[in-house]
Amino acid sequence: MTAAASISLVAVPADSPFRRVARRFFADRLAMVSLSVILLFFLTAVVAGLCSLLDWPMPMAPNATNLAGKLLPPNAVNWLGTDNLGRDVLSRMVAGSTIALTVGFVAMAVSLGIGIVVGAVSGYFGGWVDNVLMRLVDALLCFPSFFLILSAIALLGPNIWIIIVVIGIVGWTGTARLVRAEFLTLRESEYVRAARALGQSGGRIIFRHILPNAFAPIFVTAVISIPDAILIESGLSFLSFGVPPPQATWGNIIADGKTYFLDAWWLIVFPGLAIFTASLAFYLAGDALRRAASAR
């Protein structure tokens, strides 16, 4: 046997779809910049959470007041200035990053879980099941989501976990419709028909055979839904319906500073930039992931 023939007999591992998507994603420079920003916010939130848990200053206690040093502009000690109670804005923004990312990721997980189950059941079984579930989705889409969340928070009270659950419950409709569309396409595939012929249950076919093949668009939707939750939480905090004070969030830092905008611009500009930068990074990363998943 020649060397060329022996080489041809060596099994070459197949390039999986996940590897192809990951390779395209990591080759995108804009995606890498966005991912770096996301990791920076994530590490900041983790450090802030540990500092809060261990009662360490970060870099100062976020709720420590100093009326003698209120409304100070950015300086060598208070890098981002102080608010109307003399609290360090940088420390409060670092503490607020934990709230923002916790709400973003957990609310995304709640909405993703509900949306996947409803969309999968609706798309796979069809018929009256599909009609009932999709009419429920249509009914929820008729209501403005922010005002629905605002009403629920007003009734249940401002609490971070209530906010997370309400945002997740209200935000699952888009995921459900996306999953349903994917399942309507994939349920007639050859491998699904073969699984039915082998007598496999509907649940096994849904979660073992169809759902993994619909993972790419679902993951893109999950990434994009994180900044939506962050923006909703910031809006609720700005309207005093979010996490109750003295806990710092990006939204209530802006709310505290709106009265002093002409004299203390840093109270609005810096947390506003944090909200803008975090949201833009997630949107750009989600868009890069969508391009990587749809490329042929």
Q: Return the HEC string of 202-252.
A: HHHHHHHHHHHHHHHHHHHHHHHHHHHHHHHHHHHHHCCCCCCCCCCCHHH
Return all residues near 177 (Cβ < 8 A) that are at least 6 apart.
Answer: 119, 134, 137
- 241-288 confidence digits (pLDDT tens): 888 888 899 999 999 898 888 889 999 999 999 999 999 999 999 999
Domain annotation for the chain: domains and CATH numbers? 18-58+80-294 (1.10.3720.10)
- pLDDT of 13: 47
Q: What separation in angstroms does the CA of 265 have from each of 83, 274, 277?
A: 10, 14, 18
Q: In Å, how far are 24, 243, 265, 279 from 161, measured between CA atoms? A: 36, 9, 31, 21
* Residue 41: pLDDT band with limits 50, 70, 90: very high
Q: Sorting pLDDT into bands at 50, 70 and 90, what band is 12? A: very low
Mean residue pLDDT across the chain: 87
Residues 4-33 have a mean pLDDT of 69
β-sheet bridge partners, residue 88? 82
pLDDT average, residue stretch 34-49: 93
Tens of pLDDT, residues 208-231: 888 888 888 888 899 999 999 999
Beta bridge partners of 107: none
Within its chain, how far is the Cα of 10 from the centroid? 44
Extract long-range pairs of 79-88: CB within 8 Å, 24+ residues apart.
80/266, 80/270, 81/264, 81/266, 81/267, 81/270, 83/253, 83/256, 83/257, 83/264, 83/267, 84/256, 84/257, 84/259, 84/260, 84/264, 84/267, 87/62, 87/63, 88/59, 88/60, 88/62, 88/64
Please report, rounded to a whole number, the percentage of residues in the chain having pLDDT higher than 90: 49
Q: What is the pTM of this model?
A: 0.87
pLDDT confidence of residue 192: 84
- pLDDT at 195 exceeding the cut of 60: yes
What pLDDT sits at residue 15? 59
Which comes out higher in pLDDT, residue 60 or 273?
A: 273
